[in-house]
Structure 1
Amino acid sequence: MTAAEATPEIELDKADRAFLGHPKGLGFLAFVEGCERFSYYSMQTLLVLYMVKYLLLPENIGNVAGLQALQNGWYGGLQGQPLASAIFGDYTALVYLTPILGGIIADRWLGRRTTLILGGAVMALGHFLMAFEGAFLFALLSLVVGVGLFKGNIATQVGELYGPSDLRRAMAFQIFYIAIQVSVIAAPLVSGTLGEEVGWHYGFGCAGVVMVAGLLLYLYAKPWLPADNRARSAARMPGDKLQRRDVPRLLVLLLLIPILALALMVNQEIFNAYLVWADEHFQLTFFGRTVPTSWMITLDATASFTLLVAVTAFWKWHANRTGSEPDELGKMIIGSAFSVAGAMCLVIAAATQGEGKIGLFWPVMFHILNSIGFAHTLPVSLALFTKVAPKALTGTVVGLYYLAFFATNKIVGTVGGWYSTMDTVQFWLLHAGAAAVGLVAFAVLKLTLGRVLAD
């Protein structure tokens, strides 16, 4: 294969506006990612509640192969909610560490397409294994491996639909995240309700079925997706090699990883201690019916979806009117400010609880403000990483991006365990402080090294 034959998709993609003004492949990738995220967030929504309310009870924990040994060894004898938080933290942290390995496997050996298909199959296996209590740890391991092979490689393909100077790239990732948010809205309503009201294993099984559907859709979409990078590796172009000018930008991206980890801490806690707090203290009974606690995730996802669309439309309107908009770091600074404000709503809710249940006013305000922060941080930061990444290391750099989620989920796993013993007001003040540190760090980085990324 010649070098010219290796990258024919770039010219085709520039002319393709079949999906909302974007390449048709974006539509397929968004739907496939939506299926994968439905399955993942079904698992993430149910996991802590499943462990706290069923699996880790004294009469059930012995049914899980290897769990008591792990409890007494790695987790130092933790029990109940702190143990559930720690397991959740390790699982969600590893889910975001393995994409680095998945990126390396795709870049060096299997190519993105094969790696992604393998990851989807292993993920589906993990969800189906969750139907068997004894296989709980094997199910978590399968999901960790499967997400690692899948996640970074689908986001990379979104970036490959666009040329380096195509201004639609950032908007594409916002559309991509909208598909994710639709899935997060649906997952608690479907799998969450099945799990809490019919049977935990029904919720996990539903996640597996949807993952299989997404995998089949990806196989069908092959003609509209970027050419596999495995084919390119046989005829790598000179521009694909790591250049000396790439090194400073890669170093700035590495600096961004721990800052993102702090900035995202309050958002990631939603699936951990926040759900336990909501289950115990929120007023969730309406007209005589108590709704599943997992529906709080649907509330969050609905706010995230609505506000992601609103933020995207606002900045498009602003750019049309003024001819400019903040760069990626500028938007991430704005997002961190909203995250701080959102966390303070939880502080107020805890401080004003009194003797009764917590009404939903302050939690709803938290989800609104935090979702505005999300819209300015997650899709924008991913777009930044794919834009700056050298072509020779795109999959690996996207994998490095997910190190931020590895770090923040590991922190959340530890900090979330403090919920049972720490004053609730102080617990949420700690999260607000983490978001504030992220805000300051983003601002300092923009002032000192912003030009490195801009250049």
Structure 2
Amino acid sequence: MGDSTIKAAEQDSVFLGHPRGLAYLAFTEMWERFSFYGMQSLLVLYMTQELFLPGHIEHVAGMGWYRSLLEGAYGPLSPLALAGQTFGLYAGLVYFTPLIGGWIADRWLGAKRTVIIGVLLMTAGHAAMALDQSFLIALMLLIMGSGALKGNIASQVGQLYSKDDDRPARGFVIFSTAINIGAIGGPLACGLLAQIYGWHVGFSTAGLLMLVALGVYLKGLPHLPEEPHLTRTAAVSVKLTTADWRSVGILMIFLVFQVLLGPGYDQQFNMGMVWIDAAVDLQTPFGPVPVAWFVSINSFGTVLGAFAAIGFWRWQAKRGREQSDNNKMVFGGLMYGAGTMLLAIGSAVQGPGSVNIVFPVLSYFITGVAFTWSWPTWLAIMARYAPRQIAARMMAAAYLVVFFGSIIAGYFSRFYETMDPALFWALNAVACWFGAALYFVFGPMLTRALDRDMAHEPDFALRKQPA
């Protein structure tokens, strides 16, 4: 940012004490996530209950070669295993393609134009979900659109602040909270409409909401960070120092820790939906609860957890005792494991179809709270330590956590049919605790190494604020 932009950012605090541009970025993501999670909450159930069954799967364009490709790698797949693998690949690639989107933005188009293209691609993808025949095309459009949008819109949040501004970490919490407000509403609306009127009405609703996201972003463009003139020559000339490369390497180690922190969380959106549908008694005096609503419970936990975490961290900061990033990650991992273990306990103490609804409600709520402690902290770490020359690409790399987590969850979902559910969920919980242990043991040492590499920057002492 130029000097005038930096000065404006320092003085701009009209949105909850943050720059006005944060409001537009947050609400754009809120509506985009409303749409995204509304569709995603239906996806596994749609595949297992209709699309991948005889009489439907034959109509999906490209399904023959797609299934042959998967079965060539994993062996024969039942409809349930095929759905789990497909969901894992989709959810993973949605968060891998931001690397490509960040590269395009840094080199040629800039973040603003790339985000607009992303929203349009995602809108087309949701529209294609209205037909069985275009199912794989729809997933491809959604994957490409998310790649153009995710990292680039998050990088603009970080660029709203100057280097010596101490607000970015809390700005990312506000940004993540807006995301999860959308993630609450999307499954509630799309899940209910799908249950009453059919799958494709739910999917079409998600598509309409993408247009709302586009309108909000376009209106907010004047309040977003200025972008430098991009040329291919200038982009190629970017050089990283030895310290920069060392910081990138350490951040990639943290990325591995982060993947191991949340396998139970990733699996809840995959086989968790299948488990709830088969094992939980969903009947209430007001009628059956749509399975898609449990995604909203998870997001509701994140929103409440965000308000509680912000208040708690501020209370600690005033006393000079705010937790370190590593301790926040450890606590988040412990909660991920505890929430996942509740599904194992419910499976162990009650039979299929009779598990009390309290078990998944508490499980999804607790893992939602855990997300508040781990994910915004991870984004803040990446924003703080990533070399500025490749900021958009490194922020996109932060989302590789979800890519690897979803791919791993998709792979292990194939064992769900052959494994006792209690053991399946218990193993996922133990994996979360293992990730927390890695942060506890190695995190402080790696953070000190990052601090040493950044110590030459005169503003780092001001910028290095706990998340």
The verdict on a shared fold, with TM-score over 0.5 as the criterion, is yes
Q: Distance in 2 between matches of 1:365 and 1:114?
A: 41
Q: Select which of 382, 390, 393 maps to 2:390.
A: 393
Question: Is residue 109–residue 230 contact of structure 1 (8 Å, CA) maintained in 2?
Answer: no
**Structure 2 counterpart of 1:149:** 148
Question: Between the two proteins, what is the percent identity of the paired residues?
Answer: 37
Q: Distance in 2 between matches of 1:280 and 1:355?
A: 7
**Structure 2 counterpart of 1:95:** 94
**Structure 1 counterpart of 2:179:** 180
**Structure 2 counterpart of 1:370:** 367
1:272 pairs with 2:270: yes
Deviates more, 1:71-80 or 1:128-137: 71-80
**Structure 1 counterpart of 2:294:** 296
Deviation at 1:251, TM superposition (A): 1.0
**SS of aligned partner of 1:22:** coil
**Structure 2 counterpart of 1:316:** 314
**Structure 2 counterpart of 1:36:** 32
Amino acid corresponding to residue 99 of structure 1 in structure 2: P
1:406 pairs with 2:403: yes
Q: Select which of 54, 60, 63 maps to 2:59.
A: 63
**Structure 1 counterpart of 2:118:** 119
**Structure 1 counterpart of 2:465:** none
Deviates more, 1:36-45 or 1:360-369: 360-369
1:21 pairs with 2:17: yes
CA gap of 1:387–1:444, structure 2 versus 1, over 3 A, is same
Q: Distance in 1 between matches of 2:313 and 2:26?
A: 21
Q: Distance in 2 between matches of 1:19 and 1:369?
A: 29
Q: Distance in 1 between matches of 2:199 and 2:363?
A: 28
Per-residue displacement from partner, 1:317-359 (whole Å, max 9, x unpaired)?
2212x12312222211111111122222122111111465111
Amino acid corresponding to residue 188 of structure 1 in structure 2: P
**Structure 2 counterpart of 1:448:** 445
Deviates more, 1:194-203 or 1:12-21: 194-203
**Structure 2 counterpart of 1:435:** 432
**Structure 2 counterpart of 1:202:** 201
**SS of aligned partner of 1:418:** coil
Deviates more, 1:136-145 or 1:301-310: 301-310
Question: Is residue 72–residue 78 contact of structure 1 (8 Å, CA) maintained in 2?
Answer: no
CA gap of 1:122–1:181, structure 2 versus 1, over 3 A, is same
CA gap of 1:11–1:420, structure 2 versus 1, over 3 A, is same
Amino acid corresponding to residue 397 of structure 2 in structure 1: L
Question: Is residue 276–residue 360 contact of structure 2 (8 Å, CA) maintained in 1?
Answer: no
Q: Distance in 1 between matches of 2:38 and 2:353?
A: 30
Q: Distance in 1 between matches of 2:135 and 2:353?
A: 36
Root-mean-square deviation over aligned CA pairs: 1.9
Question: Is residue 332–residue 376 contact of structure 1 (8 Å, CA) maintained in 2?
Answer: yes
Residues 70-89 of structure 1 mapped to structure 2, 5 A cutoff:
70-75=66-71, 76-89=75-88
Residues 278-357 of structure 1 mapped to structure 2, 5 A cutoff:
278-287=276-285, 289-320=287-318, 322-354=319-351, 357=354
Question: Is residue 106–residue 230 contact of structure 2 (8 Å, CA) maintained in 1?
Answer: no
Per-residue displacement from partner, 1:255-278 (whole Å, max 9, x unpaired)?
111211111211111211001110
Amino acid corresponding to residue 36 of structure 1 in structure 2: E
**SS of aligned partner of 1:97:** coil
Question: Is residue 14–residue 163 contact of structure 1 (8 Å, CA) maintained in 2?
Answer: yes
1:259 pairs with 2:254: no
Per-residue displacement from partner, 1:390-425 (whole Å, max 9, x unpaired)?
111001111211111111100111112221111111
In the alignment, structure 2 segments of 5+ residues that lack a partner are: 453-467
Deviation at 1:197, TM superposition (A): 2.1
Question: Is residue 173–residue 383 contact of structure 1 (8 Å, CA) maintained in 2?
Answer: yes
In the alignment, structure 1 segments of 5+ residues that lack a partner are: none
Per-residue displacement from partner, 1:200-238 (whole Å, max 9, x unpaired)?
1111111111111111211111111001244598989x9
Amino acid corresponding to residue 34 of structure 2 in structure 1: F
Q: Distance in 2 between matches of 1:73 and 1:21?
A: 51
Question: Is residue 278–residue 352 contact of structure 2 (8 Å, CA) maintained in 1?
Answer: no
1:140 pairs with 2:139: yes
Amino acid corresponding to residue 45 of structure 1 in structure 2: S
Q: Distance in 2 between matches of 1:223 and 1:73?
A: 46
Residues 187-266 of structure 1 mapped to structure 2, 5 A cutoff:
187-230=186-229, 241-266=239-264
Deviation at 1:439, TM superposition (A): 0.8
Deviation at 1:443, TM superposition (A): 1.5
Question: Is residue 108–residue 231 contact of structure 2 (8 Å, CA) maintained in 1?
Answer: no
Question: Is residue 273–residue 417 contact of structure 1 (8 Å, CA) maintained in 2?
Answer: no
CA gap of 1:82–1:229, structure 2 versus 1, over 3 A, is farther
CA gap of 1:325–1:146, structure 2 versus 1, over 3 A, is same
1:381 pairs with 2:378: yes
CA gap of 1:292–1:364, structure 2 versus 1, over 3 A, is closer
Deviation at 1:95, TM superposition (A): 0.7
Q: Distance in 2 between matches of 1:105 and 1:436?
A: 37
Please report the TM-score for the alignment, with normalisation by the length of structure 1.
0.94
Question: Is residue 262–residue 435 contact of structure 1 (8 Å, CA) maintained in 2?
Answer: yes
Amino acid corresponding to residue 428 of structure 1 in structure 2: W
Deviates more, 1:86-95 or 1:368-377: 368-377
**Structure 2 counterpart of 1:130:** 129
Q: How many residues align?
A: 448
Q: Distance in 1 between matches of 2:342 and 2:180?
A: 22
1:426 pairs with 2:423: yes
Q: Distance in 2 between matches of 1:445 and 1:58?
A: 50
Question: Is residue 6–residue 235 contact of structure 1 (8 Å, CA) maintained in 2?
Answer: no
Deviation at 1:365, TM superposition (A): 2.7
Please report the TM-score for the alignment, with normalisation by the length of structure 2.
0.92
CA gap of 1:145–1:230, structure 2 versus 1, over 3 A, is farther
Per-residue displacement from partner, 1:72-100 (whole Å, max 9, x unpaired)?
33234312111100000111111111010
